[in-house]
Chains A and B, each alone.
Chain A
Amino acid sequence: MNLSTAPKGNFWHRLANPARFERLARWLTPWFLLGFLGFVSTGLYFGLYASPIDYQQKDTVRIMYVHVPAAWLAMMTYSTLAISGFVFLVWRHPLAEVAGLAAAPIGAVFTALALVTGAIWGQPTWGTWWVWDARLTSVLILFFLFIGYIALRNAFDDPSRAAKSTAILAIVGAVNLPIIKFSVEWWNTLHQPASVSRFDAPAIDPAMLRPLLLMACAYLCLFFFVLIFRMRLELVRRRITALQYAQAGVSDR
Chain B
Amino acid sequence: MGRTELSGFIATLNRDLSIARREGGEAFLAVLFFVLGALLFPLGVGPEAQLLAAVSAGLIWVMALLSTLLALDRLFQADWREGTLELLVISPEPLPLIIAAKCTAHWIVTGLPMAVAAPVMALLLNLPPEGWFTLVGALLIGGLALSFIGSICAALLIGSRRGGVLMTILALPLYIPTLIFGAGAVQAAVGGYESTGHLALMGAITLSSISLCPWVTSAALKQAME
User: Taking beta carbons and an 8 Å cutoff, which residues of A are in contact with B?
Assistant: 89, 137, 141, 144-145, 147-148, 151-152, 155-157, 160-161, 164-165, 168-169, 172-173, 176
Contacts and interface: CB of A to CB of B under 8 A. Distances in A.
B123 interface: no
Contacts, number: 57
B219 A141 contact: no
B220 A165 contact: yes
25 contacts: A89-B219, A137-B176, A144-B172, A145-B173, A147-B169, A148-B166, A148-B169, A148-B170, A152-B156, A152-B157, A155-B162, A156-B159, A156-B160, A160-B226, A161-B159, A161-B223, A161-B226, A164-B226, A165-B157, A168-B156, A168-B216, A168-B219, A168-B223, A172-B152, A173-B173
B62 to A, nearest CB: 14
For chain B, which range describes its interface: under 10, 10 to 19, 20 to 34, or 35 or more residues? 20 to 34
Interface string B182-226: 000000000000000000000000000000000010011001101
A161 B159 CA distance: 10
Nearest to A173: B173
B174 A172 contact: yes
Interface centre among B156, B157, B159, B172 (most CB of A within 10 A): B156
Given A155-B166, A169-B156, A164 B223 contact: yes
B169 A144 contact: yes
Contacts of A172: 152, 174, 216
Interface in B142-171: 152, 156-157, 159-162, 166, 169-170
Interface string B59-93: 00000000000000000000000000000000000
A8 B173 CA distance: 43
Contacts of B160: 152, 155-156, 165
Contacts of B216: 168, 172
Interface of B: 152, 156-157, 159-162, 166, 169-170, 172-174, 176, 216, 219-220, 223-224, 226
Contacts of B169: 144, 147-148, 151
Nearest to B224: A161
A152 B170 contact: yes
Contacts of A155: 157, 160-162, 166
Contacts of A157: 161
Contacts of A160: 226
A59 B173 CA distance: 35
A63 B226 CA distance: 49
A176 B172 CA distance: 12
B176 A169 contact: no
